[in-house]
Amino acid sequence: MPLTDRPIHELLPRLAKKEIAAADLAHDVAARIEAVDGRIHAFLEWDRDELLAAARDVDERRARGEALGPLAGVPVGIKDVINVKGHTCRCGSKILQGYVAPYDATVIAKLRAAGAIPVGRLNMDEFAMGSSQENSAFGVTRNPWDLDRIPGGSSGGSAAAVAAGEVQLTLGSDTGGSIRQPAAVCGVVGLKPTYGRVSRYGLVAFASSLDQIGPFARDVTDAALLFAVIAGHDPNDSTSLPEPVPDYTRALTGDVRGLRLGLPKEYFTEGMDREVETAVRAAVKTLASLGAEIVEISLPHTAYALAVYYIIATAEASANLARFDGVRYGFRAKDAKDPMDMYGRTRGAGFGPEVTRRIILGTYVLSSGYYDAYYLRAQKVRTLIRRDFTEAFQRCDAILTPTSPVPAFRIGERADDPLTMYLSDIFTVSANIAGICGVSVPCGFTAQPKLPIGLQVLGKPFGEETILRVAHAYEQATAWHRERPVIGDS
């Protein structure tokens, strides 16, 4: 059995005892990527020699008796929106053509300090704007469970790489569900941390008040291990909060007795796939059978969350993406008459249609005469949504919802209908608006075709220990996370 089939938490003791070598794991990762990624297209680029050399270095250091970090020798795939020194960081966009990161993001520095090996650049929706991973300038990533279907977005490459067994751990970013939604439709675990829990230094910004970096893994324990490494205060990020980082694996007791889990009536809506609702309600019953108390709660401003999100996120994107102009780095249009012509041509040719749409929308809501009517009002409703969660958490310890209203849809099925596409995020955007944490864990499959379904567990600010405890207890009581896709003739 290749080592890529085993969870990292099972391999770490064997690595420490030298029963297996980091080079063995790196070789199996490389072999798996070479075997299946031609069909999945999760990786935009990766370097076999670099991966194997880094693994051999870990083995040599271990042989010399050096003290090594908690993830020594473990490969971790990196979404193409996080800077890794010496590697391209194109954010799935033509406009960052040729850009090579001059520094490591804080999460990458933390991975290196823990002994982990950053691997490659994972495909994504351009500038993290999308729910299907069809907006990349470099082609579509395919869902390992059905190659004709989307892997979710915007961290589709990060989710698909884990689901396909190419690498056990990856990093993604979540602005409105971009970790949790692809995790759900690819059948893996994805964690969106509390805002400020993980440094954003070195993450190319989409919407600065919403973005968070988080882990993907095949099971909750592996997700907790990776999360513990990247979490913590960073003076380079003014929004990073100085909260102590606990050992998250200690929360994984398998016991939810005494916990009150809220079930919001607003999250079981018309338009949700029937099999998704059935699977999520069955998951709720499973947690109840494990001793959790299920309480009905209300989040009354949920109906406004999607509108609030697409005002705030696009406004912040409009400001953040103004820096990509062809002057300092990246793509530059040729034959421009003057600097303003070059600027307009560069942005017109460099950005894809979805990014262009959001920049225009964001510029509009920030413009004179519309700022108060849209952006300022959205910020006021954001406060109400945050208040909804604060009041709900007075009655419960965590909240249970579907992650995605539908399973993975076919590539191209919603490409010409942006509004329907945006509805894919209906259950995930509220967590980003409120700044709370959330995790998606596999909770079943549709019948025909067999497609994964995700259960979302939302928690209080800095409540990751609780949501990981709930997700782990559910995971241990079921076998969904052990299912593996069959990828063509692999």
85 is catalytic: no
- The pLDDT, as a whole number, for residue 488 is 67
Question: Residue 94 is encoded by which pair of tokens?
Answer: 């033509």
Neighbours of 35 (CB within 10 A): 17
- The pLDDT, as a whole number, for residue 490 is 45
178 is catalytic: yes
289: enclosing H helix or E strand: helix 274-289
Interacting residues of 482 by C-beta distance below 8 A, sequence separation 6+: none
- The pLDDT, as a whole number, for residue 101 is 97
Closest CA to 135 of 123, 122, 126, 148: 126
Interacting residues of 221 by C-beta distance below 8 A, sequence separation 6+: 7, 9, 249, 252, 472
Domain ranges of the chain: 3-299+387-482
pLDDT digits (tens, 9 = 90+) for 313-336: 999 999 999 999 999 899 999 988
- The pLDDT, as a whole number, for residue 67 is 94
79 is catalytic: yes
Interacting residues of 261 by C-beta distance below 8 A, sequence separation 6+: 284, 287, 292, 293, 294, 295, 396, 397, 398, 399, 400, 470
Q: What's the predicted TM-score (pTM) here?
A: 0.97
DSSP letter, residue 168: S
CATH of domain 3-299+387-482: 3.90.1300.10
Q: Which of 154, 173, 199, 424 is catalytic?
A: 154
Which parts of the chain register pLDDT below 70? 488-490
Q: Which of 155, 178, 240, 440 is catalytic?
A: 178
Which long-range CB contacts under 8 A does 282-287 form with residues at least 24 apart?
282/443, 282/444, 283/400, 283/443, 283/444, 283/455, 283/474, 283/478, 284/400, 286/474, 286/477, 286/478, 287/256, 287/261, 287/400, 287/470, 287/473, 287/474
